[in-house]
Structure 1
Amino acid sequence: MTRSSDRPISFEPSTISEDHPAYATHQAAIRSVQRVIDDRAPYQNVQVASTGIGQLLRLKPLILTGAGMSTDSGIPDYRGPKGSLRHSRPMTYQEFLHDDAARHRYWARSFVGWQHMYDATPHVGHDIISRWNASGVISGVVTQNVDGLHQRSQDSIDAQLGHNTEPGRVIALHGSMDEIECLVCGVKENREAFGIRLHEANAGVADDWHITEADINPDGDARIPQRWVDEFTMVQCLNCGSDKLKPTVVYFGEVVPRQRKESISALLESSGALIVVGSSLAVMSSYRILLEADRNRKPIGVINRGPTRGEERATFRWHTGVQQALEWLDEKIS
């Protein structure tokens, strides 16, 4: 049976004091960050697993993807062998909201690292899923990733086919990095336009700030020297002047909007099965989808190199790379 643990990982200490009202929620978020999926269900023959998942595609399944879907596009994951949790952790919502210095540090890191995520492009696996979605082979796609690659791929495939896939058939469970919202007045701004403002505010100062791909984190920020953080200039909301600006993504310690959860449940209800692709399902918001599928007696397939939380509930478990598995499946069903 798959087991998860909250193993201590060495990274920046908490910036929320024990007497702060948000401390308990912040600590719960930290435990979620630290959760590592240790074990996997018993080995399943590759031919049985691959053929079985191919059969699930006949049932119009829902596809649920995680960070392993984006690694072939050059975006690192959190919990893989080279995952970013081995040297740093993402910020919690409580830190972002209540700690001005931590929020400033986040934006300095994001200023340096976001361009790498923006430059990433969908790979053939994204396009395969998008074609399945456009043609009705699958009921839809739910992704934990905030990189927007599924939607970019879907838009591209729809343009090629001269077809508009029904809205709501691609759902970003944790939101997207494409927009910035003000936590004071609620006004939103396009991330690209916001990035231009950041570059203008830091013109000259950041000219020599260069990092390697190894310094990039999966949420678009990067590991940078403290000197760069100190030199960084943050911009303000164009409407109210606040500097409490946040990407429209669900942080650890933040709740997925109810309407989004209801939309996912509706997609799952219309699906004949669930196929998890490239995810450990370590966070509850995604693991809950597998539990709901299991509770409703829908067959489950898992495609992932590493262990996946709850995979003992899956009918078929294919331990392999995401892109090669999707290419094989696409060839079989076409």
Structure 2
Amino acid sequence: MSQPCGPSSDAHPRLFVLTGAGVSTDSGIPDYRDGEGAWKRPQPVTYQAFTGSDATRRRYWARSLVGWRGFGLARPNDAHQALAALERAGRVELLLTQNVDRLHQAAGSERVIDLHGRLDLVRCLDCERRYAREEFQRVLLDANPAWAALDAQMAPDGDADLEHDDFASFVVPPCPACGGMLKPDVVFFGESVPRERVDAAFAALREADAMLIVGSSLMVWSGFRFANAAAQAGKPMAAVNLGRTRADDLLSLKCALPVAEALSFLLESQPPRVAA
């Protein structure tokens, strides 16, 4: 039987849970960093490059067209199910995820903030209309039928490690409502997290008894700031992560185990909920 890994339920009944890419690797979605917190692959495209360069947008959407096929089929794994069970047990003040895959919600978690947005939506930067990514996939394929047969290994956040001689032929459709620029409804590097998400997360952190970090190295400030705030408030912190985290010096407890294995005890008393 697995041993519980995290703050005890008696001392810390309400947890502020922060999750990262390590939660979704068992669902087939790669993570960004190695055990030391260094990049495994080239850094993701920045907001400035995406909005400022036609060539960058063509390359991004071409890779996304290929990568979405696998990303859109990803399903929750036991780590997502375990955290949903923790919420059903009344132990979660908030689950703040840095992931954009919506797999926590698919597993049944409801008290969730998607800190970096959600990849299943596409947003127009001009008129602010949002479209389902699955719907936009069909638009991309209609505009670029020759690209439908290409295949490549899935990369984090729904694109693919697609190398091509010439992305110049790729057609990026505009917003059907206003002709504006379409972008995934996620926070790119170089872009700010919406203030209301940050404020809501900090409000939940103030109400929580402790913080649990799951599958995140916290190498980017957008996530680490919550661990920093918890430490300043004197709240104990535990982490489940195979590699180094930026908050290692602040932790009360760390479990260097695969996430699903470390949290498996949460599923022993109740069956997982299957997404419809």
**TM-score of the aligned structures, taking structure 1 as reference length:** 0.75
CA distance in 1, matches of 2:171, 2:209: 51
1:193 correspondence with 2:135:
yes
1:238 correspondence with 2:192:
no
Cα distance per residue 1:173-202 (max 9 Å; x no partner): 101001111112222111111111111112
Displaced runs of 4+ in structure 1, greater than 6 A? Answer: none
1:249 correspondence with 2:186:
yes
Cα distance per residue 1:233-292 (max 9 Å; x no partner): 2211011113x2101101111111110001101111111100000110000010000011
Q: Could you say which residue in structure 1 is the equivalent of 2:164?
A: 226
The Cα shift of 1:329 comes to 4.6
SS in 2 for 1:259: helix
Count of matched residue pairs:
270
Q: Percent same amino acid at aligned positions?
A: 40
Q: Could you say which residue in structure 2 is the equivalent of 1:12?
A: none
Q: Could you say which residue in structure 2 is the equivalent of 1:102?
A: 56
Q: Could you say which residue in structure 1 is the equivalent of 2:76?
A: 122
What is the aligned counterpart of 2:17 among 54, 60, 63?
63
1:266 correspondence with 2:189:
no
- Change in 2 beyond 3 A, CA 1:316/1:152: same
Letter aligned with residue 17 of structure 2: I
Cα distance per residue 1:113-133 (max 9 Å; x no partner): 112111110012211211221
Cα distance per residue 1:81-119 (max 9 Å; x no partner): 699943322001111111111111111110111121111
Give the number of the structure whose alpha-carbon radius of gyration is greater.
1
After TM superposition, list the pairs within 5 Å mapping 1:34-73 onto structure 2.
50=4, 53-55=7-9, 58-73=12-27
Range that drifts further, 55-64 or 231-240: 55-64
CA distance in 1, matches of 2:140, 2:11: 45
CA distance in 1, matches of 2:20, 2:120: 18
- Change in 2 beyond 3 A, CA 1:87/1:269: closer
Letter aligned with residue 77 of structure 2: H
1:154 correspondence with 2:108:
yes
Q: Considering only aligned residues, what root-mean-square deviation do their CA atoms show, in Å?
A: 2.4
The answer for unaligned runs of 5 or more in structure 2 is: 272-276
CA distance in 2, matches of 1:332, 1:127: 12
Letter aligned with residue 83 of structure 2: I
Q: Could you say which residue in structure 2 is the equivalent of 1:182?
A: 124
CA contact (8 A) 1:114 1:221 kept: yes
CA distance in 1, matches of 2:269, 2:256: 18
After TM superposition, list the pairs within 5 Å mapping 1:294-313 onto structure 2.
294-313=231-250
Letter aligned with residue 305 of structure 1: L
SS in 2 for 1:253: coil
CA distance in 2, matches of 1:109, 1:272: 42
CA distance in 2, matches of 1:317, 1:281: 14
What is the aligned counterpart of 2:89 among 135, 145, 149?
135
Letter aligned with residue 114 of structure 2: A
Larger fraction in helix: 1
CA contact (8 A) 1:84 1:217 kept: no
After TM superposition, list the pairs within 5 Å mapping 1:285-324 onto structure 2.
285-324=222-261
CA contact (8 A) 1:76 1:84 kept: no
CA distance in 1, matches of 2:10, 2:223: 20
- Change in 2 beyond 3 A, CA 1:57/1:63: farther
CA distance in 2, matches of 1:96, 1:330: 41
Letter aligned with residue 144 of structure 2: N
Letter aligned with residue 167 of structure 2: V
SS in 1 for 2:121: strand
Letter aligned with residue 149 of structure 1: L
